[in-house]
A = this chain, B = another copy of it.
């Protein structure tokens, strides 16, 4: 971070805020309206074992189903690299998902992801989001 230009440093803070919103609001509080602040209007997600989902209504449906069916509790995202990409950014990161499926002990999954970020209405959001398991 020391070698970041001030601009990139500010962008990283904005990105961290979006990533934290996903953890605390979507997973923690099950506030699915917060996904409007996280994904661009025409975002696409590519989840493992599923087809691609396009646009916020489909994306909201996906997370609603996943979080409820696994009783997911948190999704802690950690940026590993951020690459400038014109008006966007490409981020490589890792995610730790924690869930408490009914009648089972807590489970955790190590995932990794790539997100293509874009600005929408002045906010940095996920435009393309793909992930998979790390083990």
- Which residues does A use to contact B, with CB under 8 Å? 44, 46-52, 80, 83-88, 90, 92, 112-114, 116, 127-128, 130-135
- Can you tell how many copies of this chain the complex includes? 2
- A50 CA to B110 CA, complexed, in Å: 10
Instruction: Establish whether residues A92 and B48, one from each chain, have CB atoms under 8 Å apart when the complex forms.
Output: no
Complex partner residue of A92 from B52, B83, B92, B134, CB under 8 angstroms: B52
7 A/B residue pairs, CB under 8 Å, sorted by A: A48-B132, A49-B133, A83-B127, A85-B85, A85-B86, A86-B88, A114-B128
Instruction: Establish whether residues A85 and B48, one from each chain, have CB atoms under 8 Å apart when the complex forms.
Output: no
Residues of B close to A135: CB separation below 8 A = 49-50
Instruction: Establish whether residues A92 and B128, one from each chain, have CB atoms under 8 Å apart when the complex forms.
Output: yes
Residues of B close to A131: CB separation below 8 A = 130, 132
Instruction: Establish whether residues B83 and A50, one from each chain, have CB atoms under 8 Å apart when the complex forms.
Output: no
Closest chain-B Cβ to A43's Cβ sits at a distance in Å of 11
Residues of B close to A44: CB separation below 8 A = 92
